[in-house]
Protein backbone atom coordinates (compact mmCIF):
# COMPACT_ATOMS: atom_id res chain seq x y z
CA UNK A 1 0.00 0.00 0.00
CA UNK A 2 2.66 2.46 1.10
CA UNK A 3 4.96 1.22 -1.62
CA UNK A 4 2.28 1.75 -4.26
CA UNK A 5 1.74 5.26 -3.05
CA UNK A 6 5.45 6.00 -3.12
CA UNK A 7 5.75 4.68 -6.66
CA UNK A 8 2.82 6.72 -7.93
CA UNK A 9 4.14 9.88 -6.28
CA UNK A 10 7.54 9.37 -7.86
CA UNK A 11 5.88 8.92 -11.24
CA UNK A 12 3.74 12.04 -10.83
CA UNK A 13 6.66 14.12 -9.58
CA UNK A 14 8.84 12.95 -12.43
CA UNK A 15 6.08 13.80 -14.93
CA UNK A 16 5.65 17.26 -13.40
CA UNK A 17 9.34 17.91 -13.60
CA UNK A 18 9.55 16.61 -17.10
CA UNK A 19 7.84 19.64 -18.61
CA UNK A 20 9.84 22.38 -16.97
CA UNK A 21 13.14 20.63 -16.40
CA UNK A 22 14.12 18.33 -19.18
CA UNK A 23 17.07 17.27 -17.09
CA UNK A 24 15.01 15.70 -14.33
CA UNK A 25 16.50 12.23 -14.08
CA UNK A 26 18.77 13.26 -16.95
CA UNK A 27 20.44 9.94 -17.60
CA UNK A 28 17.08 8.30 -18.33
CA UNK A 29 15.52 10.94 -20.53
CA UNK A 30 17.01 10.38 -23.94
CA UNK A 31 14.94 13.14 -25.56
CA UNK A 32 16.47 15.72 -23.26
CA UNK A 33 19.80 17.44 -23.61
CA UNK A 34 21.40 17.32 -20.19
CA UNK A 35 22.27 13.71 -19.60
CA UNK A 36 25.79 12.91 -18.64
CA UNK A 37 27.87 10.59 -20.78
CA UNK A 38 31.45 9.89 -19.77
CA UNK A 39 33.74 7.00 -18.89
CA UNK A 40 31.50 6.10 -15.93
CA UNK A 41 28.16 6.69 -17.65
CA UNK A 42 27.91 4.69 -20.85
CA UNK A 43 25.23 4.69 -23.52
CA UNK A 44 23.64 1.48 -24.72
CA UNK A 45 25.13 -0.11 -27.79
CA UNK A 46 21.62 0.02 -29.25
CA UNK A 47 21.05 3.74 -28.75
CA UNK A 48 20.81 5.41 -32.15
CA UNK A 49 19.54 9.00 -32.17
CA UNK A 50 17.61 10.49 -35.09
CA UNK A 51 20.07 12.79 -36.82
CA UNK A 52 20.27 15.02 -39.87
CA UNK A 53 23.06 16.59 -41.91
CA UNK A 54 24.54 19.78 -40.46
CA UNK A 55 24.80 22.51 -43.06
CA UNK A 56 28.08 24.39 -43.07
CA UNK A 57 31.66 24.36 -44.29
CA UNK A 58 33.86 21.35 -43.70
CA UNK A 59 33.07 17.67 -43.49
CA UNK A 60 29.64 16.22 -44.18
CA UNK A 61 28.40 15.25 -40.71
CA UNK A 62 25.14 14.69 -38.87
CA UNK A 63 23.72 15.65 -35.46
CA UNK A 64 20.37 15.51 -33.72
CA UNK A 65 18.08 18.11 -35.33
CA UNK A 66 17.95 20.50 -32.34
CA UNK A 67 21.74 20.49 -32.04
CA UNK A 68 22.21 20.83 -35.80
CA UNK A 69 19.94 23.90 -35.95
CA UNK A 70 21.75 25.48 -33.00
CA UNK A 71 25.13 24.82 -34.58
CA UNK A 72 24.05 26.37 -37.88
CA UNK A 73 22.90 29.44 -35.94
CA UNK A 74 26.26 29.55 -34.19
CA UNK A 75 28.19 29.30 -37.46
CA UNK A 76 26.14 32.17 -38.92
CA UNK A 77 26.77 34.38 -35.86
CA UNK A 78 30.48 33.55 -35.96
CA UNK A 79 30.67 34.48 -39.60
CA UNK A 80 29.13 37.88 -38.84
CA UNK A 81 31.99 38.40 -36.39
CA UNK A 82 34.51 37.45 -39.10
CA UNK A 83 35.07 33.97 -37.63
CA UNK A 84 34.93 31.08 -40.07
CA UNK A 85 34.39 27.72 -38.43
CA UNK A 86 34.29 24.29 -40.01
CA UNK A 87 32.64 20.99 -39.21
CA UNK A 88 34.99 18.09 -38.51
CA UNK A 89 33.15 15.31 -36.67
CA UNK A 90 29.59 14.99 -35.35
CA UNK A 91 27.46 11.91 -34.70
CA UNK A 92 29.34 8.64 -34.42
CA UNK A 93 27.70 5.27 -34.06
CA UNK A 94 28.74 2.78 -31.41
CA UNK A 95 30.50 0.64 -33.99
CA UNK A 96 32.36 3.60 -35.52
CA UNK A 97 33.57 4.61 -32.05
CA UNK A 98 34.55 1.02 -31.47
CA UNK A 99 36.80 0.98 -34.52
CA UNK A 100 38.35 4.40 -33.70
CA UNK A 101 39.16 3.32 -30.15
CA UNK A 102 40.46 -0.03 -31.36
CA UNK A 103 42.82 1.67 -33.79
CA UNK A 104 44.22 4.07 -31.16
CA UNK A 105 44.68 1.19 -28.74
CA UNK A 106 46.54 -0.87 -31.35
CA UNK A 107 48.79 2.09 -32.21
CA UNK A 108 49.60 3.46 -28.75
CA UNK A 109 48.34 1.04 -26.11
CA UNK A 110 45.28 1.18 -23.89
CA UNK A 111 46.44 3.87 -21.48
CA UNK A 112 47.27 6.34 -24.24
CA UNK A 113 44.10 5.45 -26.14
CA UNK A 114 41.97 6.10 -23.05
CA UNK A 115 43.39 9.59 -22.68
CA UNK A 116 42.37 10.78 -26.12
CA UNK A 117 39.60 8.47 -27.23
CA UNK A 118 36.41 7.17 -25.68
CA UNK A 119 35.66 3.49 -25.34
CA UNK A 120 32.58 2.54 -27.34
CA UNK A 121 29.40 3.62 -25.52
CA UNK A 122 31.17 6.37 -23.59
CA UNK A 123 31.45 8.97 -26.35
CA UNK A 124 29.15 11.99 -26.41
CA UNK A 125 29.35 11.77 -30.18
CA UNK A 126 27.03 8.76 -29.98
CA UNK A 127 24.35 11.06 -28.52
CA UNK A 128 24.32 13.13 -31.70
CA UNK A 129 24.85 16.19 -29.49
CA UNK A 130 28.61 16.72 -29.87
CA UNK A 131 30.64 18.31 -32.64
CA UNK A 132 34.37 18.69 -33.20
CA UNK A 133 35.20 22.03 -34.79
CA UNK A 134 38.14 23.55 -36.61
CA UNK A 135 38.78 26.79 -38.41
CA UNK A 136 37.63 26.82 -41.99
CA UNK A 137 40.04 25.00 -44.29
CA UNK A 138 41.37 22.78 -41.50
CA UNK A 139 40.45 19.41 -40.03
CA UNK A 140 43.08 19.57 -37.28
CA UNK A 141 41.88 18.85 -33.76
CA UNK A 142 44.47 20.02 -31.28
CA UNK A 143 44.78 22.26 -28.24
CA UNK A 144 46.31 25.04 -30.36
CA UNK A 145 42.75 25.68 -31.60
CA UNK A 146 42.02 27.20 -28.18
CA UNK A 147 44.56 29.94 -28.88
CA UNK A 148 43.27 30.84 -32.34
CA UNK A 149 40.70 33.59 -32.80
CA UNK A 150 38.23 30.92 -33.91
CA UNK A 151 38.81 28.85 -30.78
CA UNK A 152 38.56 31.91 -28.54
CA UNK A 153 35.30 32.89 -30.18
CA UNK A 154 33.90 29.40 -29.55
CA UNK A 155 35.01 29.51 -25.89
CA UNK A 156 33.39 32.91 -25.38
CA UNK A 157 30.18 32.41 -27.39
CA UNK A 158 29.17 28.75 -27.67
CA UNK A 159 26.86 29.00 -24.63
CA UNK A 160 24.70 31.61 -26.38
CA UNK A 161 23.66 28.84 -28.76
CA UNK A 162 23.27 26.08 -26.19
CA UNK A 163 26.75 24.56 -26.48
CA UNK A 164 29.52 24.10 -23.97
CA UNK A 165 33.21 23.44 -24.44
CA UNK A 166 32.91 20.12 -22.69
CA UNK A 167 36.50 19.26 -21.73
CA UNK A 168 37.90 22.23 -19.88
CA UNK A 169 41.54 22.93 -19.20
CA UNK A 170 42.61 21.77 -15.75
CA UNK A 171 39.78 19.27 -15.22
CA UNK A 172 41.22 16.16 -16.79
CA UNK A 173 40.83 14.31 -13.48
CA UNK A 174 37.12 15.11 -13.43
CA UNK A 175 36.13 14.71 -17.08
CA UNK A 176 38.61 11.97 -17.93
CA UNK A 177 39.81 13.90 -20.99
CA UNK A 178 42.55 16.35 -21.69
CA UNK A 179 41.59 19.89 -22.69
CA UNK A 180 39.63 19.78 -25.95
CA UNK A 181 38.83 23.32 -27.10
CA UNK A 182 37.41 21.90 -30.35
CA UNK A 183 34.75 19.62 -28.83
CA UNK A 184 31.41 21.32 -28.19
CA UNK A 185 28.44 19.59 -26.62
CA UNK A 186 24.83 20.69 -27.02
CA UNK A 187 22.99 20.95 -23.68
CA UNK A 188 20.42 23.63 -24.57
CA UNK A 189 20.64 27.32 -23.73
CA UNK A 190 19.67 27.22 -20.03
CA UNK A 191 22.21 24.60 -19.05
CA UNK A 192 24.84 26.08 -21.34
CA UNK A 193 24.47 29.54 -19.76
CA UNK A 194 24.63 28.05 -16.26
CA UNK A 195 27.65 25.93 -17.10
CA UNK A 196 29.42 28.85 -18.76
CA UNK A 197 28.78 31.08 -15.74
CA UNK A 198 30.01 28.42 -13.33
CA UNK A 199 33.07 27.60 -15.47
CA UNK A 200 32.87 24.10 -13.97
CA UNK A 201 32.81 20.75 -15.72
CA UNK A 202 29.47 19.12 -16.52
CA UNK A 203 30.21 16.27 -14.09
CA UNK A 204 29.99 18.67 -11.13
CA UNK A 205 27.11 20.64 -12.54
CA UNK A 206 25.09 17.49 -13.11
CA UNK A 207 25.68 16.15 -9.62
CA UNK A 208 24.42 19.43 -8.12
CA UNK A 209 21.50 19.45 -10.50
CA UNK A 210 20.57 15.86 -9.74
CA UNK A 211 20.75 16.49 -6.01
CA UNK A 212 18.25 19.32 -6.40
CA UNK A 213 15.89 17.10 -8.37
CA UNK A 214 16.11 14.23 -5.91
CA UNK A 215 15.76 16.63 -3.02
CA UNK A 216 12.56 17.91 -4.59
CA UNK A 217 11.23 14.39 -5.09
CA UNK A 218 12.04 13.44 -1.52
CA UNK A 219 10.21 16.51 -0.19
CA UNK A 220 7.19 15.57 -2.24
CA UNK A 221 7.30 12.04 -0.87
CA UNK A 222 7.68 13.21 2.71
CA UNK A 223 4.76 15.60 2.43
CA UNK A 224 2.48 12.97 0.97
CA UNK A 225 3.40 9.96 3.04
CA UNK A 226 3.74 11.47 6.49
CA UNK A 227 0.59 12.67 8.27
ZN1 LIG B 1 34.75 15.28 -29.92
Q: How far is ligand 1, taken at its centre, from the CA of residue 110, in Å?
A: 19
Give the residue numbers annotated as catalytic, written as ranges: 180
Q: How many angstroms is it from 188 CA to the middle of ligand 1?
A: 17
The rounded Å distance from CA 132 to ligand 1 centre is 5
Domains of the chain: 37-200 (3.30.1380.10)
> Is 53 within 8 Å of 61 (Cβ atoms)?
yes
Residuewise pLDDT in 10s, the chain (227 residues)? 444 444 434 443 443 344 333 333 344 344 588 888 998 888 888 888 999 999 999 999 999 999 999 999 999 999 999 999 999 999 999 999 999 999 999 999 999 898 778 899 999 999 999 999 999 999 999 999 999 999 999 999 999 999 999 999 999 889 988 899 999 999 999 999 999 998 889 998 888 776 666 666 666 666 655 44
All residues at 6 or more sequence positions from 64 whose CB lies less than 8 Å from its CB, including other chains? 49, 50, 51, 52, 91, 127, 128, 129, 186
For the entire predicted model, the pTM comes to 0.79
Residue 216, pLDDT score = 62
Q: How far is the CA of 15 from the centre of ligand 1 (A)?
A: 32
> What is the distance in A from the centroid of ligand 1 to the CA of 125?
6
Contact 51, 64 (CB under 8 A): yes
Amino acid sequence: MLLEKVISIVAVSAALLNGSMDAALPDKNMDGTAFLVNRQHAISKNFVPVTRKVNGPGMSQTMRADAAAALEEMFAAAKEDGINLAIVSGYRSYSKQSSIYGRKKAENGQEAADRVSARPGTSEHQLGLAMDLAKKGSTQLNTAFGKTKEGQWVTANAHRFGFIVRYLEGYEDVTGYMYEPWHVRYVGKDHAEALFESALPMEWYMSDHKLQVYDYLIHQLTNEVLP
